[in-house]
């Protein structure tokens, strides 16, 4: 009897070799590495009995045709990685559905609907300052303006896609009719420690957290650190430190909120001068949009008060906002039932990271299955999911599809 988990591990190990030189996995969209990954995935899709095509967003599609007039269920994830990332993020969510479809194919199971396994080109947004190209194209929310964005070498997204053999001006034609799409399921490593802490192989995602980012600039006055009296100082870093502490307090004391100050730029940034200005970011994530927005409003009020207290000029703006996307209750319930059928609890948890599923939510009902990752580590070469956990995930995916 085939050990599907061991097969998944072997395939993922093979694909992980398709990478730019260096530690871990670096596989960016519309590159030779992307092409090589598509060639390998194509072979496995065909083995699973799928008909394979590539759309103009660079999404590889393996389709199992259902009865005439039936709807289509979508399942998949992204092939690209961050720089020096791991062997599981994204790509595992393509390989496991392929093997689930192969299992159904070998068992002679014909589903009463069509299935498409999708390998999206670009979810991470590493090469170009945009992301979710393929999933947004299917959902009909792709913005053609991003085609003019450039990578670090000055290549535009439009040029990269054209060189890859795609026709970017036809992306709008990829939008699917919602009436024909039954739903979308994405499988992904958790990228967090909850499942390991709970000693559970798999989890059912309740929602993809909403995100908002704030840019705050505090401006005071510099001076000699040894001669400027403390009572006369307009130290921008002192104000920024209070804001960092407040962001952390909000995250610690607000249920369901993740709060982070991830970047600080200090000027003049020398050991013997009072900091004149600080440019900083604050990010909030929550599966509840009201919770997230309340945190942002609180931060802005607090920052204005701190600036006034320390005689600082302040500029604060909301630079990015993405609403939370709840997973479909019916699909999630079926996923939980499938997990319990293989001896698991069907543990529910939110996703703090963004995924292709968040874009597909504009097209159809979505669901997500999390696979335990060792120590909650992701986006590094140490990223790892066990063969046994992946075997259970393949079984759950197969059972889930049969239940629809």
88 & 31 share domain: yes
Domain boundaries, position 335: 4-208+325-403
Q: Kindly state whether residues 221 and 284 are assigned to the same domain.
A: yes
> What is the tally of structural domains in the chain?
2
Cα 225 to chain center, whole Å?
44
Instruction: Tell me: do 220 and 369 sit in the same domain.
Output: no
Greatest alpha-carbon pair distance for the chain in Å reads: 83
Q: Give the span between the Cα atoms of 126 and 173, in whole angstroms.
A: 25
Same domain, 313 and 329: no
Among 5-19, 123-137, 169-183, the minimum mean pLDDT is found in 123-137
Strands 366-371 and 181-189: parallel
Q: Is 105 exposed, middle or buried (0-12, 13-18, 19+ CB in 10 A)?
A: middle
Can you give the CATH number for the domain in which 120 is found?
Answer: 3.40.630.10
CATH of the domain at 309: 3.30.70.360
Q: Are residues 48 and 107 in the same domain?
A: yes
Using pLDDT thresholds of 50, 70 and 90, give the confidence band for residue 307. Answer: very high
For the record, the structure tokens of 133 come out as 């190209």
Q: Please, which residues have CB within 8 angstroms of residue 91's CB and are 6 or more apart in sequence?
A: 12, 15, 37, 77, 78, 79, 81
Residue 100 near residue 369, CB atoms below 8 Å: no
> Residues 379, 89: contact at Cβ < 8 Å?
yes
Token code pair at residue 220? 């005071």
End-to-end Cα distance, the chain: 26
113 and 156 Cβ atoms separated by less than 8 Å: no
Residue 186 has pLDDT above 80, yes or no: yes
- 204-235 in b/e burial notation, b at 16+ Cβ within 10 A? bbbbbbbbbbbebbbbbbbbeeeebeeeebbb
Q: Do 285 and 350 belong together in one domain?
A: no
DSSP of 148-199, one letter per residue? G-B-TTS-BHHHHHHHTT--GGGGGGGPPPGGGEEEEEEEEE-SSSHHHHTT
Residue 281 makes CB contacts below 8 A (sequence gap 6+) with 213, 214, 215, 216, 261, 262, 263
Residue 150, beta-bridge partner list: 156
Mean pLDDT, range 64-74, rounded to an integer = 97
Quick one: pLDDT at residue 165?
Answer: 98
Residue listed under structure tokens 């393949």:
394
Residues 340 and 248 in one domain: no
Measured distance CA(110)–CA(49) in Å, rounded: 11
In the numeric block, which tokens belong to residue 380? 């590094």
- Name the domain boundary from 304, 322, 340: 322
- Euclidean distance between CA atoms 28 and 31, whole angstroms: 6
Q: Domain end: 274, 303, 322, which one?
A: 322
Q: How would DSSP label each residue in 362-396?
A: TTS-EEEEEE--GGG--SSTT----HHHHHHHHHH
Average pLDDT, the chain: 96
HSE-CB at 115 with a 13 A cutoff on CA atoms is 26
Give per-residue pLDDT as tens, 16-59: 999 999 999 999 999 999 999 999 999 999 999 999 999 999 99
Q: Pairing mode, if any, of strands 210-219 and 277-286?
A: antiparallel
In this structure, are residues 123 and 80 in contact, taking their beta carbons and an 8 Å threshold? yes
Same domain as 341, residue 306? no
Q: For residue 1, is pLDDT > 80?
A: no
pLDDT digits (tens, 9 = 90+) for 55-68: 999 999 999 999 99
399 and 307 housed in the same domain: no
Q: Is the pLDDT of residue 148 over 70?
A: yes
Q: Do 163 and 250 fall into the same domain?
A: no
Helix (H/G/I), strand (E/B), else coil: 59 = coil
Prediction pTM value: 0.88
Domain co-membership, 249 together with 287: yes
Last residue within a domain, chosen from 306, 322, 338:
322
For the segment 367-383, the average pLDDT, to the nearest whole number, is 97
Rg (CA), the chain: 23
Q: Are residues 232 and 198 in the same domain?
A: no
């Amino acid at each position: 009897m085939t050990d599907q988990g061991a097969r998944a591990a072997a395939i993922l190990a093979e694909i992980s070799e398709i990478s730019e030189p260096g530690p871990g996995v670096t596989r960016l969209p519309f590159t030779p590495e992307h092409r090589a990954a598509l060639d390998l995935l194509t072979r496995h899709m065909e083995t699973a009995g799928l008909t394979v095509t590539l759309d103009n967003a660079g999404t590889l599609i393996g389709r199992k045709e259902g009865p005439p007039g039936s709807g289509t269920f979508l399942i998949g994830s992204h092939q690209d990685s961050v720089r020096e990332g791991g062997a599981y993020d994204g790509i595992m969510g393509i390989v496991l559905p392929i093997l689930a479809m192969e299992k159904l194919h070998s068992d002679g199971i014909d589903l009463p609907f069509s299935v498409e396994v999708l390998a999206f080109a670009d979810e991470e947004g590493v090469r170009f300052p945009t992301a979710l190209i393929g999933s947004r194209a299917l959902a009909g929310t792709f913005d053609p303006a991003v085609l003019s964005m450039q990578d670090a070498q000055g290549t535009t997204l439009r040029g990269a896609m054209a060189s890859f053999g795609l026709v970017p001006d036809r992306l709008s034609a990829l939008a699917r009719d919602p009436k024909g799409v039954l739903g979308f399921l994405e499988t992904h490593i958790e990228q967090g420690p909850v499942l390991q802490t709970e000693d559970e192989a798999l989890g059912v995602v309740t929602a993809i957290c909403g995100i908002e980012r704030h840019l705050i600039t505090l401006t005071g006055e510099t001076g000699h650190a040894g001669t400027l009296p403390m009572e006369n100082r307009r130290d921008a870093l002192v104000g920024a430190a209070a804001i960092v502490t407040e962001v952390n307090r909000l995250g610690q004391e607000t249920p369901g909120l993740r709060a982070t100050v991830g970047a600080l730029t200090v000027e003049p940034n020398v050991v013997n001068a009072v900091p004149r200005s600080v440019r900083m970011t604050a990010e909030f994530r929550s599966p509840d949009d009201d919770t997230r927005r309340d945190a942002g409003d609180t931060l802005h009020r607090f920052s204005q008060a701190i600036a006034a207290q320390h005689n600082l000029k302040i500029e604060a703006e909301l630079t990015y906002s993405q609403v939370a996307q709840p997973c479909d209750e019916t699909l999630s319930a079926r996923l939980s039932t499938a997990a319990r059928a293989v001896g698991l609890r069907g543990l529910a948890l939110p996703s703090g990271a963004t995924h292709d599923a968040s874009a597909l939510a504009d097209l159809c009902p979505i669901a997500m299955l999390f696979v335990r990752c060792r120590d909650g580590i992701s986006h590094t070469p140490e990223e790892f999911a066990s063969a046994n956990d992946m075997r259970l995930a393949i079984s759950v995916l197969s059972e889930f599809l049969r239940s629809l």
